[in-house]
Amino acid sequence: MRLSTKGRYAVMALADLAARQDAVAARGVALAEVAERQQISLSYLEQLFSRLRRRGLVVSARGPGGGYRLARGAEAITIAEVVLAVDEPLRATRCKDGGKGCMARGERCVTHDLWEEMGRQLYGYLASVSLADVLNGSLRRVRRAPQESAAWEAA
CATH code of the domain covering residue 141? 1.10.10.10
Q: Which of the four pLDDT bands, split at 50, 70 and 90, describes residue 1?
A: very low
Distance between CA atoms of residues 131 and 134, nearest Å: 5
Does the residue 153 lie in any domain?
no
* pLDDT per residue as tens digits for the range 12-46: 999 999 998 876 666 789 999 999 999 999 999 99
Does the residue 140 lie in any domain?
yes
CB 142 within 8 A of CB 129: no
**Structural domain of 123:** 5-148
Does the residue 108 lie in any domain?
yes
Does the residue 83 lie in any domain?
yes
Domain count, the chain: 1
Does the residue 154 lie in any domain?
no
CB 140 within 8 A of CB 125: yes
* pLDDT per residue as tens digits for the range 79-91: 999 999 997 676 6
Across the chain, what does the average pLDDT equal? Answer: 83
